[in-house]
Amino acid sequence: MSQRKPLLRRLFPSLPLSATVFVFWLLLSDDFGAGAWVMGALLSLAIPLFAARLDREFARIGSLRSVPRMLCVVLLDIVASNVKVALQVLGPESRIHPGFIWIPLEIANIHGITALTSMITLTPGTVSVALSDDRRYLLVHVLHLDDPDALVREIKSRYEKPLMEIFP
């Protein structure tokens, strides 16, 4: 005979998540009336129930030695890209050649892929658009695409390789 979970555990699969959702709802609602409390209570019941059904893939962390260098690279790339995009946007439109490119991925850890897509999107002039179902290719939109092969090599060496050390 299987044991059933207690009612409280079925209603609140994650009490910390329920409490967090409730508090954040009240903070975001900018209203402390009864309606905000009721809506917060409903959300704090519903969101954890849906979240409990998600397939979780826990992060495995490898070496953190490359984190400081990688953060510096990303920050410098963001600054340099801001300048480059500003010059492109302020210049003649004919010099902008947007395009899409599929980047083959070696990194398999979903948390590493998420970090990679975030870094690409944070860098002005590039946006992560889609991840293939098998997680082996990432579609990126580029504001100005001169040399697709060079861009793939740059993303793989500057972002993906360090992330593979962090997320094995």
pLDDT digits (tens, 9 = 90+) for 94-148: 888 999 999 999 999 888 999 999 999 999 999 999 999 999 999 999 998 989 9
pLDDT of residue 59: 66
- Residue 143 has a pLDDT of 93
Beta-bridged to residue 101, according to DSSP, are 140
pLDDT digits 0-9 by tens, 54-108: 656 666 778 888 889 999 999 999 999 999 999 988 988 888 899 999 999 999 9
| Backbone angles phi and psi of 115, in degrees to 5 | -65, -40
Global pTM reads 0.67
